[in-house]
Amino acid sequence: MEYLLTLQKNLFAYTNMLDKINSLKEQIEALTAANAEAIEALRIKYLSKKGEISALFNDFRNVPNEQKREIGQKLNELKTLATDKINALREAFASNDTADAAIDLTRTAAPAEVGTRHPLSLVRQEIISIFSRLGFTVAEGPEVEDDWHVFGALNFADDHPARDMQDTFFIQRSPDVLLRTHTSSVQSRVMEHAQPPIRIVCPGRVYRNEAISYRAHCFFHQVEGLYIDKNVSFTDLKQALLYFAREMFGPETQIRLRPSYFPFTEPSAEMDISCDLCGGKGCNFCKHTGWVEILGCGMVDPNVLEACGIDSKVYSGYAFGMGVERIANLKYRVKDLRMFSENDVRFLDEFKPAH
């Protein structure tokens, strides 16, 4: 009689546990929630330490040993189902919330104005793109520099006028620290740490202590280039610059090189391009000469190579440098240099791409 009572008790515990599991399974499969608070309430109801599934695990000890494996498997499946369901509700609510947040209800109904890149950025990128087709890579360096990389390594004499306070912004109390006056400092840094062949362009902002006017500013932008290898000649320089001029200003552009002087190149030259307004015949823009100056260039002085640890008896090279504002003036006919840094929206709107 006692044996029959035990069997009956065990059967009741087994069937009762199955009924509870199946009932909770149906509830969980039908779960829905309208907000994050409702989802959290469901998690607490079913999965917390005092939740309904935890209560079933507490009742698991009453299940007969013969059925523990089966019931245990079903309890684990139920817990996994509840976890997955609540996580799915949470993810669905989060995605809906993100979509709603992306809608700016304060935004005007009128179409938003599309901006454009700054003209100096456009010209700088075009210059880099042209020289990249010749194998040049971009190198950059710090704007706050030391005297050696700006002047000493580039063959500037100790009494050179460029070192004067009238031209250079020196950092107070640090006479050897200054704002770079040209991006040639990047070239000297590269030459110190790399062996030829070197073929780089160095774009960046530079600073000089000058009065601000329509034709000058205390800061401006440069792109300088350097090529060092065996048997580099002035002819190589001329061909590279002719290619650049025709890519930037048109296939009919002509160039001329006039002797000049720079401490870091010898021989040195200024390069002019034929005026594309008058076709070289002479006009007000080119001061009736038919030519417009755009950059300086020359063969790297052997003293610069040696100062940077490169054997000048084995290697030679050329360098060039141009002002981005100067090229932008020629390309877009901007008469006042100050307009590039005033951020006047009316001026910037003129450079929007055509649609």
Model pLDDT for residues 312-327, shown as the tens digit of each residue: 999 999 999 999 998 9
Residues 96 and 126 in one domain: no
Q: Which of 101, 136, 165 is the last residue of a domain?
A: 101
CA pseudo-torsion sign 261, 264, 267, 273: negative
Q: Would you state the pLDDT for residue 265?
A: 94
DSSP 8-state assignment for residue 353: P
Mean pLDDT is highest, among 60-64, 100-104, 152-156, 161-165, for: 152-156
The whole domain housing 22 covers 2-101
Could you tell me which residue, 279 or 73, shows the higher pLDDT? 73
Could you tell me which residue, 239 or 283, shows the higher pLDDT? 239
Query: What is the Cα–Cα distance from 65 to 68, expressed in whole angstroms?
Result: 5
Q: Would you state the pLDDT for residue 331?
A: 84
Number of domains comprising the chain: 2
As separate numbers, helices (DSSP H) first and strands (DSSP E) second, the chain gives 11, 10
Instruction: Say yes or no to pLDDT of 111 above 80.
Output: no
Residues 177 and 215 in one domain: yes
Query: Which residue's entry shows tokens 């507490």?
Result: 58
Instruction: Read off φ and ψ for residue 136, nearest 5 degrees.
Output: -80, 140
At 278, which CATH number? 3.30.930.10
Residues 125 and 95 in one domain: no
Percent of the chain with pLDDT over 90: 36
Residues 50 and 142 in one domain: no
Residues 143 and 194 in one domain: yes
pLDDT band for 107, please (50, 70, 90 cuts).
Answer: confident
Contact between 309 and 232 under an 8 Å Cβ cutoff? The reply is: no
Return the SS3 of 138: strand
Terminal-to-terminal C-alpha distance of the chain: 95
Instruction: Give me the mean pLDDT over the 257-276 stretch.
Output: 92
Instruction: Say yes or no to pLDDT of 98 above 70.
Output: no
Burial 319-336 (b: 16+ CB within 10 A, else e): bbbbbbbbbbbbeeebee
Tokens of 5: 């009572």
pLDDT band for 334, please (50, 70, 90 cuts).
Answer: confident
Q: Which of 57, 72, 101 is the last residue of a domain?
A: 101
Residues 60 and 161 in one domain: no
Q: Would you state the pLDDT for residue 323?
A: 92
Q: Would you state the pLDDT for residue 127?
A: 96
Residues 245 and 336 in one domain: yes
Instruction: Read off φ and ψ for residue 120, nearest 5 degrees.
Output: -65, -35
Residues 298 and 184 in one domain: yes
Q: Would you state the pLDDT for residue 165?
A: 58
The whole-angstrom distance between residue 292's C-alpha and the CA centroid of its chain comes to: 34
Query: Which residue's entry shows tokens 């006919």?
Result: 333
Residue 330 lies in a domain: yes
Instruction: Read off φ and ψ for residue 281, nearest 5 degrees.
Output: -80, -20
Residues 85 and 177 in one domain: no
Residues 274 and 312 in one domain: yes
Residue 10 lies in a domain: yes
Residue 257 lies in a domain: yes
C-alpha to C-alpha distances, 347 to 74, 82, 97, 344, 350, nearest whole angstrom: 72, 61, 40, 5, 6
DSSP 8-state assignment for residue 113: P
The DSSP bridge pattern shows strands 137-138 and 198-207 to be: parallel
Instruction: Say yes or no to pLDDT of 199 above 90.
Output: yes
225: nearest Cα among 118, 127, 313, 121: 127
Q: Which of 70, 101, 132 is the last residue of a domain?
A: 101
The DSSP bridge pattern shows strands 219-229 and 316-323 to be: antiparallel
Residues 197 and 85 in one domain: no
Q: Would you state the pLDDT for residue 1?
A: 52
Residue 107 lies in a domain: no
Q: Would you state the pLDDT for residue 102?
A: 62
H-helix or E-strand containing 145?
strand 144-146
Contact between 298 and 93 under an 8 Å Cβ cutoff? The reply is: no
pLDDT tens, 125-162?
999 999 999 999 999 999 999 888 888 889 888 777 76
pLDDT band for 329, please (50, 70, 90 cuts).
Answer: confident
Residue 272 lies in a domain: yes
Residue 82 lies in a domain: yes
Could you tell me which residue, 227 or 70, shows the higher pLDDT? 227
Instruction: Say yes or no to pLDDT of 288 above 90.
Output: no
Instruction: Say yes or no to pLDDT of 9 above 70.
Output: no
Residue 110 lies in a domain: no
Instruction: Read off φ and ψ for residue 318, nearest 5 degrees.
Output: -130, 160
Query: What is the Cα–Cα distance from 139 to 128, expressed in whole angstroms?
Result: 11
Residues 19 and 88 in one domain: yes
Bridge partners, 138 (sequence order):
201
Query: What is the Cα–Cα distance from 317 to 302, expressed in whole angstroms?
Result: 9
Instruction: Say yes or no to pLDDT of 275 above 60.
Output: yes
* Range with the poorest average pLDDT among 104-108, 253-257, 347-351: 104-108
